[in-house]
Structure 1
C-alpha cells in the first residue's frame, strides 16, 4: 500500500451540529497513527456547533472560501499547465447548463488555494465527505497538479447536483455508506470498485447509559436530527396523538434545530400535544448521550431522499434503544425488522402508530430489541473499525494507481 504522507480531510462548512460523526472518524484515524489535516469550505458560526470539539475543530481547519489571492497567484505561476487542465474540466460540466458551469468555474481560485494549503501541510491526498461542489473542488485541484482525492457519497446522487461522472473520473477512490448508493454510483461510473464503508460511532461510549426508569414514568420517545420537513416529525406526532387518545402514558422529545421548527411547533399545537412533547433544541455530544440514556425508544420517520445510513440511529442502537425507523436509504441494511429495531413504510402513520403501540405494550420485546441492537452496533458500527476500513481503502486505491 502507498499511504499518504498526511491525509487531508474535507467536510463542507465544518464543524456544525451534525458533524460529530466526522470528528469521531478523525479521532479514530489519529488513534490509529494517521496524520490528519482538516480542510473545509466556509467557516461556520460558532453557535452552529454546540459540541465541545467545536473550537478545536475550527482552529485546526483550513478554510478555502474565500481563497487567498496570494496563494492562488503563486500556485498558478508555478503550475500554468495545471491551470489549463483545470479549465478543461469545465467542458465536462454540462448537467446544469451555462449557469452550472459558471458556478464550477468560480471554484477555480479556491481549488488553487486548496492545492497550496495541502502542499504546505504535507498533504498528498484529500478525502472529501461530500459529492456536491466539494467533489468538483477535489477534481479541479487534482487537475491543477494538487493532491490525489477520494470521495464518500452519503446520500442519493440527485441531492448533490449533477455531473457526477466528472467528479468521479479522476478520483482514486469512491466509497458509499450503503449498498443502494453504490448502485447509484455504478450507474454513472460503471466498472469502478466502490466499497461500502459506513460512518461509525464510539459504541463503548454509549454502552450502559440507560438509568433505572422510575416505575410509572411515561414511555419516552426521542428524535435527534436536523429539523427539516423530510425528517418526518409530523408523522410521529400524529401517531403520538393516537397513542395518547388510547390512554398510553407517553412523551416525545424532539432534539435538533432547523428550518422546520416553526412548522413542527404549529403541528404540536394543532394536535394539542403541548403537555406531551418537548422541543430540546440542538444538543452537544454529552447531551446526546444523556438524552439517549433518559429515553426508551428512538424514532426516525424520514421520507424521500437524502437519508442514507443515519448515524443518530447507530448511536441509539449502541445505547440500547429500540428504534422505529422508516425504510429509507440503508436503514434496511442496518436493522432487521422485529429483531434489532422496527422498520415502517415512509409516511405511514398507521404503521408508525402500530410499531409504537407494540413497544408500549411489551416490555419484554423492548428488552430483547435493546440487547440485539447493541450487539448489531458493536459488531458493525464501531468507529474504530469503520475508520480503519476507510484508511485501508484509500491506501489500497493509491497503491493500485487509481
Structure 2
C-alpha cells in the first residue's frame, strides 16, 4: 500500500529507459563511497539518487559527508536510513584519527606539504586545513574498514582538500564533481585536482573550463549531469489541456541568481496583454523579502504564490498539474539544473535562460525553450506562443519526457559514471605516491 506522502506512480510504459543499453560494468568498482557535503540537505538529493542507482546496479555504496546537517526529521522521508548510517568526517573520531596519524608520520608530512602548496588559501584557512587532517585520517580509516575502492565527491570546494589528504593518508582513489563554474568553488584548483582520477563536470562548458584553465587531460574530465528517477517523476495519466490562467511553476532557492524577478515581470507583461497566469514558487532563501516587495509593487498578489519548501511528493504532484516550468537563472553557478530535469521527466516543458549547461539538456522549441538571460519580454513571448499553440505545447511535453528518459535517468547516469571510473587507465591516473603541487 502506498504511504500517504507518496505520489501515485503513473504507469508510463510507452516511454521508459532502455536499461539494456547500459555500458559494461564488470571492471567498475564494487564498493563505492559517495561524499555529500553537510548531509542531509536539499542540494544532495540528486547525487544521492545516483548513489541509490549504483546500489540498484549491484554496487555497495556508503554515504559519507564532511559533517552532519542537523535538522531533525526534515529529510527523513527523503534519505531514510542513510542519514544515520552515513559516516561524518567532522568532528573526527579523535582516538582513531590520532592513531592513524601517529602510525604514518611521513604521510602526515605529505599532508602538511600539500597545505603549504596552496596559493589562494589565506593563513587562517590553512590552519583550519591542518586541523582537517584529523578528519581526513578518520575518513581514510573508515574507507579502509569498508574496503571502499573509489570515492565520488559531490564538490570541488573544501571537500576536495579533505579527500586529497585522506588519499595521502592511505585512503581510496577519488573523483571530484564540478557542479558549475570553477569560480564558485574557491581557488587552488590545480592542487585539488592533482590527485583525482576523474573530474566530473556538470555541463560541457564546465568541462572545457577545466581542460583549458587547469590543463588537465581531456581523458580525465567527463561531462555528466545528475540524474532523475524517471520511474518516480512521471507525467500525469491525462494532462489537462493548456488554458488560462496558465499554471506556471518554479522549484528553486529564493536567490537573486535564479531569476525569479524576470519571471514575475513576465507575468505582469502577460497580464497587460490579457493573458492571466497562476505562478507558484517552491523554495526559501535570502531573496524572499525582495520577491514579496516586487509582487506587491506589480499588484500580483493574486497571481504569484510563495509556497515555501515542499517535500518531493508535493513537488511531483505540482509538476504534474502545471503547464510550464520556469527557471530564468542569471550570472554564474548554474550548470544543468536538476529541477529542470525533474520537470522534463514529468512531461512539463521548461522555459530556461541560456546559462551554464542548459543548452546541453534542452533543444529549444523541441523539448523546452531557451531565452536570453534577464529578458522578461522573451519569457512572456514564449509563454504567449505556447498558449496560442496548444498542439506545440503537447508535442514539447512529450519530447521533454522522451529526452529525460533517454538521457537523464539516474541508473543511466550511475552506469556511465562507474564505467568511466573503470576506464580511466593507470597511465592517466595520478600516482598514489605523487607529491603535492609545489
CA RMSD of aligned residues (A): 1.9
Contact 1:210/1:294 (CA < 8 Å) preserved in 2? Answer: no
Equivalent position of 2:418 in the other structure: 391
User: For 1:300, which of 322, 327, 335 is the aligned residue?
Assistant: 327
SS at match of 1:293: helix
Q: How big is the shift at 1:363?
A: 1.1
Q: How big is the shift at 1:220?
A: 0.4
Distance 1:50 1:281, change over 3 A: farther
1:19 aligns with 2:40: no
Q: Which runs of structure 2 are paired with 1:153-168 in the superposition (5 Å)? A: 153-168=178-193
Q: How big is the shift at 1:107?
A: 1.9
User: For 1:188, which of 214, 220, 243 is the aligned residue?
Assistant: 214
Contact 1:324/1:342 (CA < 8 Å) preserved in 2? Answer: yes
Return 333-342 or 114-123, whichever deviates more.
Answer: 114-123
TM-score by length of 2: 0.87
Number of paired residues? 402
Contact 1:93/1:100 (CA < 8 Å) preserved in 2? Answer: no
Contact 1:46/1:55 (CA < 8 Å) preserved in 2? Answer: no
Q: How big is the shift at 1:48?
A: 8.4
1:316 aligns with 2:343: yes
C-alpha distance in 2 between matches for 1:125 and 1:318: 30
Whichever structure has more helix as a proportion of its residues is: 1
Contact 1:94/1:101 (CA < 8 Å) preserved in 2? Answer: no
Equivalent position of 2:361 in the other structure: 334
Q: Which runs of structure 2 are paired with 1:50-61 in the superposition (5 Å)? A: 50=75, 52-61=77-86
TM-score by length of 1: 0.95
| Structure 1 stretches of 4+ moved >6 Å | none
Distance 1:87 1:344, change over 3 A: same
Equivalent position of 1:232 in the other structure: 259
Q: Deviations over 1:211-252 (max 9, x none)?
A: 543896521000001111111101110111111122212100
Equivalent position of 1:33 in the other structure: 58
Q: How big is the shift at 1:210?
A: 5.8
Q: How big is the shift at 1:15?
A: 1.7
Q: Deviations over 1:114-171 (max 9, x none)?
A: 1122122222321101000001111111112221111111111100000111011011
Contact 2:78/2:312 (CA < 8 Å) preserved in 1? Answer: no
Contact 2:242/2:387 (CA < 8 Å) preserved in 1? Answer: no
Contact 1:3/1:398 (CA < 8 Å) preserved in 2? Answer: no
Equivalent position of 1:101 in the other structure: 126
C-alpha distance in 1 between matches for 2:424 and 2:351: 37
SS at match of 1:204: coil
- Unaligned 5+ runs, structure 1: none
User: For 1:346, which of 367, 370, 373 is the aligned residue?
Assistant: 373
